[in-house]
Structure 1
C-alpha cells in the first residue's frame, strides 16, 4: 500500500483575507457514501492547508472553504503520490 498526499493552496484577492477563511477537509468512502475522516483548520499565511496522508486513494477528498462560518466553496481534490505536489484553487 502506497501513501498518497493531499494539500490545498487557496488563493484569495482583496477584499477577502486569509485570516477570515477556514476550511474543513473531508474524506469519504465512495461505496458507502460515509465520511470517514474530517479535519477543521485555518490556512497558513501563504494560503496552504496542512498536509494529509491518504491511505486509500479511491476515497473522495473534499475541502469546504468557509468565510465567517458560511460555506463559500466546495473543492474536490485528488491525492498525489509525491508530497511536493498539491491542489490549487
Structure 2
C-alpha cells in the first residue's frame, strides 16, 4: 500500500516500518494498520481542520495546556494564529 502523506514522517523517523492497510475512516480521522518491528499496531491520522466536521471538538482539546503564553492567548481568542497552533497541538 502507498504510504499516506501524514504517515510519511513516522516512516522517515523509523517509528513505523510500513503501512499494511487502512482499517477504517471516519469524520475526524483515518486508522491504518502499521508494522512496527515484529508487532502490528494501529496509527490514527486526524484529518485537516478544514475537512473535519465533528461538533464536539472541545471535548478533545479541553485539557490541553500550552507553555507559551502568546500561543495560549491566541488559542483562547480563536485567531488564525491560534487555530494554527491548536491544530499543531
Does the pair score TM above 0.5? no
**TM-score with structure 2 setting the length:** 0.30
Q: By percentage of residues, which structure has more helix?
A: 2
Query: Highest CA radius of gyration, 1 or 2?
Result: 2
Q: By percentage of residues, which structure has more strand?
A: 1
**TM-score with structure 1 setting the length:** 0.30
